[in-house]
Chain A
Amino acid sequence: MGLRSVVGAHWRVILLVILVGVALVALFVPGGLLPQDEFAGGGNESADAGASPTNLAYGLGLDGGTRISAPVVGTTAEELEIEPDRAGEVEATLEDELGVDSANVSVQFHQDSGFHTAELFVDDVSHEEFAAALRAAGVDATEGDVRDGVTQSTRDSIIRTIETKINEAGLSGGRVSQSSAPNGQYYIVTEVPDRTPAELRTLLSERGIVEVRAHYPDGEGGQTNETVLEQGDFAGVDPAAYNEQNGHHVPVSVSEEAAPEFQAAMNEYGFTGPGVGQCGFGEPGTDGQNYCLLTIVDGEVVDAHSMGPDLAGPMRSGEWVEDPQFVMLAPSQTEAQALSVNLRAGSLRAPLDFENDRTFSVEPALAEQFKLFSLVTGVLSVLTVSGVVYLRYADRRVAGPMVVTALAEVVILLGFAAAIRMPLDLSHVAGFIAVVGTGVDDLIIIADEVMEEGDVNSRRVFASRFRKAFWVIGAAAATTIIAMAPLAVLSLGDLRGFAIITILGVLIGVFVTRPAYGDILRYLLTGE
């Protein structure tokens, strides 16, 4: 028999062996099939490297960590026709009419639709009030134009900000995504290893709006406040630092556009003259004498300092704008770090609604146990299946390849998961067990059909019986895929992984492993 005819006769088995081989490489050879960072969504490679014997990536349930899914607070009015130059004016009117901060109103133009949207990031304004305020701003809007939720661009911006925040906070392996419910509500899903729910929630609930406010005498014995720097005015922000002179601080530089104005304000309000070193913020009896620069995060004063002589000098002479840098002080390392992260990541465009969230958290130690336990559970299930099949057929020629083929299916799937670095969770484990279950069912159909009524003595008889068996298998596979498809598409918590693994398993089964089992069985039964 020439090589070509051998390959021609056994190509199904050969394909199975090749796929199993590739899967084993993807699973066990360090580095796997693809370069580490190709598909790794910032996964946990660094933590796993060296420690794990396989290239499998694990999800939260099997690796430990915290996940919070929360909707975004806000309402949106869509398809508004606003003259491009009036957007700012509309925003200002909305702020006045509804009594909300400028940070909580956003009017945007959308290139693709050609319309404007107006968003409110508060939860205490009704659709009707929103529409009325829009009409007051001269925009044609009705209650029907207003819906709950925010725009995609706002969600994208929130996702980017959170990504920066968790990276800046040193949480490697964090993931941020959005998921949607059938009624159109969206959730922002944040996953990080090594943080408790309370810590992650603190990180996410800080909106991180930073501003610097001048707090100075009003000339009538009291104090007045003026915002002098906002988030967008900073050009560069360094990581938090510490030195003897300043304590904990964050070195920052102010943008070219904002620097002259800031310098002028400091000189005008007296910060560079009488105010140097004069700050007793919060101390009684100091009203009318305080010159404080307040660092304010989310409306709370985190720090108050007067201007030092080193900064006041160049400001007074007007040289400071040439190199507009200063340091923002903070009372502790944690707050300095938070300040730096907030300045660099930018603020969350809208807050997250933790009243309507879902939190899931597993300690790494427990997750490690789940890995072992689910492996044991899976192995026990496979052994049970093998036992029943042996009992039923009492023929090693039939039952042996059946178990081996079903396992090959799992190996190929695992290899696939390792290759694309799909993070495995408990639901995937359930999927693998389901795959063994459906796989063996189909192999039973093939075996029974082929061995029906006496021996199979020719290839022709075998082929005709195999075809009949395959009709049933194809039909059954199609139903399983249809039954699982909704779960694979809808984001129902952890179940997507289960559905995806089951569907992939069925596909690999129908196209690769079951035909190969047919060939093996034919060889064993007919000797051809």
Chain B
Amino acid sequence: MGGFDVPEIDYTPYSDRQLAAVPLAVLALALAILLGWYLLTGAPVAMGIEFAGGTELTVDTASDRAEIPAAFDAEPESVQAVQAEDDRYIVQFASTDESALSEQAAANLEPAGDGEVVQSVTSTSAAFGAQAQRTALLGVGAAFVGMSVLAFALFRTFVPSVAIVVSAFSDIVIPLAVMNLVGIPLSLGTVAALLMLIGYSVDSDILLNNSVLRRGGDFTESVHRAMRTGVTMTVTSMAAMAVMAVAATAFGIDLLSSIGLILFVGLAADLLNTYLLNLSLLRWYVHEGVAR
């Protein structure tokens, strides 16, 4: 083998409880953050303008960043510079009066070059946002239930199936908590990433369960076999997502950067959940659960 190989981890010194404790503690912490956020703000995650309502303008202007808020009657929620393009800023408002905001931008900001000041407008009314929230919740819920049913159908035994469902749940909850911590609001892109995570996260769990339960042989050997493949898969995807997140952020393409970032965090959480949580449940099941 060449450049890098997946290290063989010796799990034998640790009990099942010790192994499961780490991911469960992280999950508990993540849930605590979401609960705290819910108690403080009324929603478990910060909603982006696509869900809460508001307006986002992309402007090309020679004016300084500090002058931008003064151009508008409404106070911007945020002003973000786009790295790849000088003089381009993404400005967000809670107001949904996009025509007034566009006019103010065109009137009060100095154009950069010959182009229009306002390059892009996205405006969502509060009612439309609330509708999108319900749709998104329904979508994520349906996907999660569908995935759970499929997991049970594939393995037809309780513990391994539950292990898959619990780690997928944790894979979604941990990035949500991280989003709150680093200040990424929930947007259409992040919802897509969360759904994608359900698909990605289950891959490595199925691989592990399949290797241990269907292939037989020594437990440690089966785990290592699955890990060699699974970790390679996850690390490859993480690398691709990290590059996508960095490139898209530099270019100012929000949708791609949030998908990349959330998938990166979620896949890291998946390594933890698959190879500590799912593994400990499987080991308990193989050694003790089957005997009962």
Which residues of the partner chain B approach A306 to less than 8 Å between Cβ atoms?
none
A476-B206 contact, Cβ under 8 Å, with A197-B98, A388-B235, A427-B255: yes
A460 close to B (CB within 8 Å): no
Residues of the B chain whose Cβ atoms lie less than 8 Å from the Cβ of A487: 139, 143, 192, 195
Binds A, one of B36-44, B112-120, B177-185: B112-120
A430 in contact with B192 given A444-B229, A485-B143, A493-B132 (CB within 8 Å) = yes
The yes or no answer to A34 lying at the interface (CB within 8 A) is no
User: Residue B259 at the A interface, CB < 8 A?
Assistant: yes
Q: How far is the CB of B199 from chain A (nearest CB, A)?
A: 3
Option from B118, B131, B247 in Cβ contact (under 8 Å) with A377: B247
Inside 8 A of B244's CB, which chain A residues have their CB?
A: 377, 380-381, 433
Within 345-375 of A, Cβ neighbours of B (below 8 Å) are at: 355-363, 365-366, 369-370, 373-374
Which one of B58, B139, B253, B255 lies within 8 Å of A486 (CB-CB)?
B139
Question: Of A201, A363, A377, A483, which contacts B120 at CB under 8 A?
Answer: A363
Does the CB pair B237–A437 fall under 8 Å?
A: yes
Chain B residues lying within 8 Å of A359, measured Cβ to Cβ, are: 98, 121-124
User: Which of B122, B199, B210, B235 contacts A479 (CB under 8 A)?
Assistant: B199
A residues whose Cβ falls under 8 Å from a Cβ of B: 66, 69, 181-183, 185, 187, 196-198, 201, 355-363, 365-366, 369-370, 373-374, 376-377, 380-382, 384-385, 387-395, 426-427, 429-430, 433-434, 436-438, 440-441, 444-445, 448-449, 452, 468, 471-472, 475-476, 478-480, 482-487, 490-495, 498-499, 502
Enumerate the 5 nearest inter-chain pairs by beta-carbon distance, A residue then B residue, closest first: A394-B2, A391-B3, A480-B199, A373-B251, A482-B146
Given A183-B134, A395-B2, A468-B215, also A484-B251 (CB < 8 A)? no
Q: Does B253 lie within 8 Å of A377, measured CB to CB? A: yes
Instruction: Contacts A359-B98, A360-B122, A381-B244 given; indicate if A482 touches B253 (C-beta within 8 A).
Output: no
B-side residues, CB < 8 A to A, are 1-5, 50, 58, 84-85, 98-99, 102-103, 115-116, 118-128, 131-132, 134-136, 138-140, 142-143, 146-147, 150-151, 154, 188-189, 191-192, 195-196, 198-200, 202-203, 206-207, 210, 214-215, 225, 228-229, 232-233, 235-237, 239-244, 247-248, 251-253, 255-256, 259
For A66, the closest partner residue in chain B by CB is B121
Q: How many whole Å from B4's CB to the nearest CB in chain A?
A: 6
**A486 near B202 (CB under 8 angstroms)?**
no
Distance A400 CA – B58 CA, assembled complex (angstroms): 41
Distance between B154 CB and nearest chain A CB, rounded to angstroms: 5
Tell whether, in the assembled complex, residue B2 and residue A441 are in contact, meaning their CB atoms are under 8 Å apart: no
A218 vs chain B, min Cβ distance (A): 42
Write 23 A-B pairs (CB below 8 A) sorted by A numbering: A183-B131, A197-B123, A198-B103, A356-B128, A359-B121, A360-B123, A370-B253, A373-B251, A374-B251, A376-B251, A389-B236, A390-B3, A430-B259, A445-B233, A471-B210, A475-B154, A479-B150, A479-B199, A480-B200, A482-B150, A483-B147, A499-B195, A502-B199
Complex interface: chain A residues within 8 A of B128 (CB) = 69, 187, 356-358
- Contact between B139 and A388, CB atoms less than 8 A apart: no
> In the complex, what distance in Å separates the CA atom of A494 from the CA atom of B50?
11
Q: A494 CA to B237 CA in the complex, in Å?
A: 23
Complex Cα spacing A168 to B214, Å: 65
- Are A486 and B2 touching (Cβ within 8 A)? no
- CB closest chain-A residue, reference B144: A483
A182 touching B256, Cβ below 8 Å: no
Contact between chains at A492 and B188 (CB < 8 Å): yes
Contact B119 A365 (CB under 8 A): yes
List A contacts of B134 (CB < 8 A).
Answer: 181-183
Which partner residue on chain A sits nearest B207 by CB separation? A472
Question: How far apart are the CA atoms of A430 and B87 in the complex, in Å?
Answer: 26
Which residues of A sit under 8 angstroms from B5, Cβ to Cβ?
Answer: 392
8 Å CB contact of A388 from B125, B239, B251: B239
Q: How far is A437 from B139 in the complex, measured between Cα atoms in Å?
A: 22
Number of A-B contacts (CB under 8 A): 248
Contact of B233 among A360, A394, A441 (CB under 8 A): A441
Contact in complex: A483, B236 (CB < 8 Å): no
Whether the Cβ atoms of B195 and A448 lie closer than 8 Å is no
CB distance from B76 to the nearest CB of A (A): 18
**What residues on A are CB-neighbors of B131 within 8 Å?**
181, 183, 185
C-alpha spacing A376/B119, complex, angstroms: 21
For B206, list chain A residues within 8 Å (CB). 472, 475-476, 479
Query: Given A358-B128, A359-B123, A377-B248, do A391 and B229 touch, yes or no (CB 8 Å)?
Result: no
Docked-complex contact A363 and B118, CB < 8 angstroms? yes
B240 touches A445 (CB 8 A): no
Closest B residue to A469 by beta carbon equals B229
B residues in contact with A495, CB < 8 Å: 188, 191-192
Residue pair A380, B195 in contact (C-beta under 8 Å)? no
Please indicate the chain A residues that have their CB under 8 angstroms from the CB of B237 in the complex: 437, 440-441
In the complex, what residue of chain A is closest to B136 when comparing beta carbons? A492
For B3, the chain A residues whose CB sits under 8 A away are 390-392, 394
> Chain B CB within 10 Å — which of A201, A374, A429, A487 has the most?
A487
Chain B neighbourhood of A471, CB < 8 A: 210, 214
Known: A392-B4, A394-B1. 20 other contacts (CB 8 A): A187-B128, A198-B103, A357-B128, A359-B121, A359-B122, A360-B121, A363-B119, A365-B119, A377-B244, A390-B3, A395-B2, A452-B225, A475-B150, A479-B147, A483-B146, A484-B195, A485-B143, A485-B146, A492-B132, A498-B192
From residue B267, how far is it (CB to closest CB) to chain A in Å? 10
Once the chains bind, are A365 and B115 in contact (CB under 8 Å)? Answer: yes
**In the docked arrangement, what's the CA distance between A448 and B247, Å?**
31
- Closest B-chain residue to A385, C-beta based? B240
Determine which of B124, B215, B235 lies in contact with A358 in the assembled complex, contact meaning CB atoms within 8 Å. B124
Chain A residues with CB below 8 A from B121, complex form: 66, 197, 359-361
Question: Across the interface, which residues of A come within 8 angstroms of B239, CB to CB?
Answer: 384-385, 387-388
Complex Cα spacing A183 to B139, Å? 13
B115, B138, B195 — which one has the most chain A CB atoms within 10 A of its CB?
B195
Bound form: Cα–Cα A427–B99 in Å: 26
The distance from the CB of A432 to the nearest CB of chain B, in whole angstroms, is 11
Chain B residues with Cβ under 8 A from A452's Cβ?
A: 225
Q: Name the B residues within 8 Å of A479 (CB-CB).
A: 147, 150-151, 198-199, 202-203, 206
